[in-house]
Copies of this chain bind each other. A is one copy, B any other.
């Protein structure tokens, strides 16, 4: 048994292939590259029961991850996050079997830890010494911290409007942090120029091929945690879209391994009304999205006006008979509160949007009676204090408690 069955990289647009034993960024044609594994060999040697007793982190799936040698793994214990029944919110919205995959319970408090753990580990294995990336906050925080653990230098550029706590995470890790008066697309241009000028490793979304391999493990875990019986629907908050692309890739690999049947869950891309390029493209039946001008939403992580992997997101939605749906900030903030009051889970605004979308899709009948639904919460609400209004009386020590 090899530790990893990674075989090579390929371009999903022009189909050119690349070796995976040296640093790769985009394809010559400008498309992201994706990782291929020798699934036919792996299929003969690996079965679900082999997972028993393995570490309860995403590294339990190392055969399907790109790191060739265990000593290059950079880990903070990420993965195998809880899959929780949400029966009270579910019955509130008429979905009997509603589950939440809770990516708040992970190092750095967001699902970005998965991409960073695998991306940084592979970068370390390939000898990267310094990386740079634009971010809406959480990815930069995660890559800063994992890079620190790996001894890799990181330069991060994020919008001034990104969640404040993510600045602290970058700063305390010793990363070189720049803020920009603009959006993640502006940060991306600044990083692009610096990458050229200083020959840095570009860790931007989908500009290196391994972040998605980390995100993929959300799909592997959902499948394993459900006993290899997939749900009918998975809802995912979609900015750059790597999570959704990753889940789709994971499920197809599991089909090839014969671990699951080939009827995949319908994948739903959830966006905010203030930034919904994927939804617009889906509604128009297009294969790619257009830049969304003047984008804005309280769910900062999905404020991505044009994603490099938009065509892969749309492919995943079309191929699984999924859909794309947008939610107002008012709706998602109301749902965030509702989930906390009924389930005790303080989800992030992006995660709240998936519950809002489930409610909407149940109301309009797209989600049917008795279907099993998984909503992805991509991060912890504690990273977004500004989304909660606190009204509390202030007492002096001799006062009585006010009990409303």
Q: Which residues of A are interface residues toward B (Cβ below 8 A)?
A: 52-53, 56-57, 74-77, 80-84, 102, 104-109, 132, 145-150, 155, 157, 160, 164-165, 167-174, 176-182, 186, 189-191, 193-194, 197-198, 336-337, 340-346, 380-383, 385, 388-397, 399-404
Instruction: Look across to chain B and name the residue whose beta carbon is closest to the beta carbon of A151.
Output: B88
Q: Are A401 and B155 in contact (CB under 8 A)?
A: yes
Q: Are B382 and A383 in contact (CB under 8 A)?
A: yes
**Residue among A172, A179, A198, A394 with max Cβ neighbours from chain B (10 Å):** A172
Q: Is the interface of A mostly helix, strand, loop or mixed?
A: mixed
Q: Are A395 and B346 in contact (CB under 8 A)?
A: no
A388's contact among B172, B340, B402, by CB below 8 Å, is which? B172
A340 to B147, CA, bound (A): 11
Q: Are A395 and B173 in contact (CB under 8 A)?
A: no
Q: Are B190 and A397 in contact (CB under 8 A)?
A: yes
A392's contact among B56, B76, B171, by CB below 8 Å, is which? B171
Q: Given contacts A344-B147, A380-B109, A395-B180, are A400 and B189 in contact (CB under 8 A)?
A: no
Contacting residues, chain B, for A344 (C-beta < 8 A): 74, 76, 145-150, 173
Q: Are A178 and B80 in contact (CB under 8 A)?
A: no
Q: List 10 A-B contacts (CB under 8 A).
A: A56-B80, A77-B84, A149-B343, A171-B392, A173-B341, A174-B340, A177-B392, A186-B397, A194-B401, A382-B382
Instruction: Look across to chain B and name the residue whose beta carbon is closest to the beta carbon of A340.
Output: B172
Contacting residues, chain B, for A346 (C-beta < 8 A): 108, 145, 168-169, 172-173
- Sorted nearest first, the 3 A-B pairs with minimum C-beta distance are A77-B82, A149-B344, A168-B388
CB distance from A161 to the nearest CB of B (A): 12
Instruction: Look across to chain B and name the residue whose beta carbon is closest to the beta carbon of A130.
Output: B403
Q: Are B174 and A341 in contact (CB under 8 A)?
A: yes
Q: Given contacts A145-B344, A186-B397, A346-B169, are A404 and B179 in contact (CB under 8 A)?
A: no
Q: Given contacts A155-B403, A403-B198, are A396 and B182 in contact (CB under 8 A)?
A: yes
CB distance from A245 to the nearest CB of B (A): 25
